[in-house]
Structure 1
Amino acid sequence: MHLRRSRWTCHDACVGNPTAANGSAAHAVSGPIRVAVVDDQELFRRGLTMLLGIEPGIEVVGEAGDGVEGVELAVKTAPDVVLLDVRMPKKSGIEACVAIKESVPTTKIIMLTVSDEEADLYEAVKSGASGYLLKDSSIEEVAQGIRVVADGQSLISPSMAAKLIEEFKTMSAPERATGPALKLTERELEVLRLVAKGLSNRDVAGQLAISENTVKNHVRNILEKLQLHSRMEAVMYAVRAKLVELD
């Protein structure tokens, strides 16, 4: 098992630094965050389930050993967050991610994998994953990631962040925003630009002098209008549409 304990905090990995005022990520889920663990390595899966079971505010509602079972488990239990390995038998983690988002759209997905390949990260984001962590993360990192993603934020491990930004930079976007982007209000476009620059909801609220709840509502409306699944997808859209330039 690769999960370790570490002093590294989610502050370093979270897109937009989504930490609450007390230093820990808040979550909008009432009661404990319900989590499903899907991984074909039994020892890793069982160990992760056991360690998450003693984390405050987290309840593991089930585990599965392949992508097909993972989708069935998600449909049956409707968890708040699913931890998915990328490479699994019967149905890959990416395929399972797509199926889960279609069947249980309120469920958030974190890919927890040994793969640090840009292609897997990019496909995970496109498929609706809200987070991407490597299996050498500590249990504290995984638990904090669960809390952050349950709160509607996105995160990736620091080692993958630069790769995702580079992927954004190399996207070809010959035309300015057209189509769905035109459905956004001026305020929604402002929020999208700031989110794409990596600001948290709290920071966006401060920049625009509006409440954090108002920002959350704007983000939700943006995702609905653009038919996207996550903030990271919204960032990708903003870059492709040249709504924001990444340095």
Structure 2
Amino acid sequence: MTTPTGGTSAAGGHDLTVLLVDDHAMFRTGVRSELGSAVRIVAEAGDVDEAIAAVETYRPDVVLLDVHLPGGGGAEVLRRVATRHPETKFLALSVSDAAEDVIGVIRAGARGYVTKNITGDELIDAIRRVAGGDAVFSPRLAGFVLDAFAGTIEVAQVDSDLDRLTEREREVMRLIARGYAYKEVAKELFISVKTVETHVSSVLRKLQLSSRHELTRWANDRRLI
């Protein structure tokens, strides 16, 4: 868990406190820069246990929560602390826009879900709206939630299929299935090209697929891209 060294309340009375949870330090730095002085980041965390400890210590107004975290993922954080601290609101911020990720964290207690291509101004607005009690979603993600409650997405089956993959393999799988080159995946996830190649080989082996084309079709059939 990292405690900020220079965070202060913004001028003009913007005193919302935020806990930033993501396992990539470079991404956390980028988010901190985008948020500027609009909110006060009280701490950062890089895994499930750090996130839970930070919620207990700082009781932030809003937790910006990555879906894929070491130690069980964002949903595990929500399961362990959301009901104990109803005053803290959780906003998922993830590279993933897959249906089962969105629905999983919303069912666990998140008030919103936005993807990492959001602009700084949009993220500030989302934080303020979630803190005020609104439910906030990136435009296409709201449909997933509606579909889930309508029963048109079989989330349990999707989860069963994905159980074979680690969280990092799921991230790599979705990006590859969308047509990203290995170098693009490496840049997006802050990992090396060699690591991407290793994850792709593992995904294909675990899912018993033989090519990127088959992987794309597999992911599309399950509405993961």
Q: State the TM-score, normalizing by the size of structure 1.
A: 0.54
**Percent of pairs identical after alignment?**
35
Q: Which blocks of at least 5 consecutive residues in structure 1 are unaligned?
A: 1-29, 173-247
Shift of 1:47: 1.5
Cα distance in 2 for partners of 1:163, 1:101 equals 22
Deviations, residues 95-139 of structure 1 (Å, cap 9, x unaligned): 012222133221000010011111111111111100100111111
Instruction: Specify which of 26, 42, 45 is matched with residue 25 of structure 2.
Output: 42
Match of 1:141?
122
State the secondary structure of the residue aligned to 2:106.
Answer: helix
Cα distance in 2 for partners of 1:91, 1:166 equals 25
Shift of 1:168: 2.1
Are the aligned partners of 2:103 and 2:144 in contact in 1 as well (CA < 8 Å)? no
**What is the RMSD of the two structures over their aligned residues, measured on CA atoms?**
1.7
Instruction: Specify which of 129, 135, 140 is matched with residue 159 of structure 1.
Output: 140
Q: Which has the higher contact order (CA 8 A, sep 6+)?
A: 1
State the secondary structure of the residue aligned to 1:137.
Answer: coil
Instruction: Specify which of 80, 89, 100 is matched with residue 99 of structure 1.
Output: 80
1:149-188 matches, within 5 Å, as 149-170=130-151
Cα distance in 1 for partners of 2:134, 2:108 equals 16
State the secondary structure of the residue aligned to 2:60.
Answer: coil
Are the aligned partners of 1:108 and 1:129 in contact in 2 as well (CA < 8 Å)? yes
Q: State the TM-score, normalizing by the size of structure 2.
A: 0.59
1:15-164 matches, within 5 Å, as 32-55=15-38, 58-164=39-145
State the secondary structure of the residue aligned to 1:69.
Answer: helix
Moved over 2 A (4+): none
Q: Which blocks of at least 5 consecutive residues in structure 2 are unaligned?
A: 1-12, 154-225
Q: Which residue identity does 1:167 align to in structure 2?
A: A
